[in-house]
Amino acid sequence: MIEAKDLTKRFGKQLVFQNLNFQINDGEFISLIGPNGSGKTTLVKILMGLEPSSSGTLKINEKQTIGYVPQFRNIDLDYPLNIEQFIRLNLKFTFSAKQRNHENKIIKSIMQKTHLTDLRNRPLGLASGGEKQKAYLAQALLNDPKILILDESTASLDVEVKTQLMDLVQELNQKYHLTVIFITHDYELTKKYTKRALLFQNKTIVPVKVENISKEMFEVEAENVRI
Ligand SMILES: Nc1ncnc2c1ncn2[C@@H]1O[C@H](COP(=O)(O)OP(=O)(O)OP(=O)(O)O)[C@@H](O)[C@H]1O
């Protein structure tokens, strides 16, 4: 379980959020939503130990490792690695034959889980957006995480590819009891894949049932941001 108690974060004089109190259950598929700049990425950085909190606590079970899937960025057409080589970047480089053997098995299994086996030799620079995003997902799964964070990972994909990626994540969530935290601005995907959301509002978090979220709420937030 992930549990926040009175979690507060400031950057210098800027208060990002204060007194966050929430829980995320093991195996839950939950969305993390709210306007641009409300603190979604900052919160997951604190969760991953990449950023200190200002006060309060954010606890996870010590044994729970975390996989992080960012939104894919532009990758040059002549990027030197193929999909499999790119995924391997998250492994420890080793010259031990025994360790290599072990790693090969892990890679094979991850490629099967993410449906990338047939694409393993494709240069990453020539892969489609969805294939690149799946490669990022595969990389995040290498260390057998119990918690998977998708940080706007569907943002630059077209609707059909978004759905394919989310179906895959849902499969991983259900088959392997992965806890999934889905950071998104996408109303349709929030509705389709999650039952509960942590909504950033007025510098704190409100846990809400997704069935009670309206499209207008997403749009109002977007407008607020523009002002
Ligand atoms: N390292 C940093 N130093 C100073 N301010 C920061 C730092 N990182 C984030 N911020 C600020 O903290 C606030 C929260 O940023 P964060 O990226 O967490 O928001 P977000 O909800 O993920 O936004 P978006 O939806 O646009 O990705 C923003 O005002 C941002 O400028």
DSSP-derived letter for residue 199 is: E
pLDDT, one tens digit per residue, over 144-192 is 899 999 998 888 788 888 999 999 999 999 999 999 999 999 999 999 9
Tell the residue nearest (CA) to atom 10 of ligand 1.
11
Per-residue model confidence (pLDDT) at position 227 = 34
Q: Are 20 and 8 in contact (CB under 8 A)?
A: yes
The residues spanned by each domain of the chain are 1-64+146-227, 76-145
The ipTM (two decimal places) reads 0.97
pLDDT band at 226 (very low <50, low <70, confident <90, very high): very low
State CA 188 to chain mean position distance. 17
Task: Indicate which atom in ligand 1 lies nearest the CA of residue 42.
Answer: 18
Q: What are phi and psi of 144, to 5 degrees?
A: 55, 55
Q: Which residues line ligand 1 (CB under 6 A)?
A: 11, 16, 34, 36-42
d(CA 37, ligand 1 centre) in Å: 5
Per-residue model confidence (pLDDT) at position 55 = 97
* CA angle at 104 for the pair 98 and 105, rounded to the nearest 5°: 95
Arithmetic mean of pLDDT over the chain: 90
Tell the residue nearest (CA) to atom 29 of ligand 1.
37
For the domain 1-64+146-227, what is the CATH code? 3.40.50.300
> Which of 7, 9, 11, 199 has most ligand 1 atoms within 8 Å of its beta carbon, as the pocket-test mutant?
11
Strand order in the sheet with 66-70: 66-70, 147-151, 179-183, 29-33, 196-201, 204-209
Q: Is the pLDDT of residue 2 over 60?
A: yes
Task: Indicate which atom in ligand 1 lies nearest the CA of residue 43.
Answer: 18
Give pTM, 2 decimals.
0.91
pLDDT band at 101 (very low <50, low <70, confident <90, very high): confident
Q: Are 72 and 136 in contact (CB under 8 A)?
A: yes
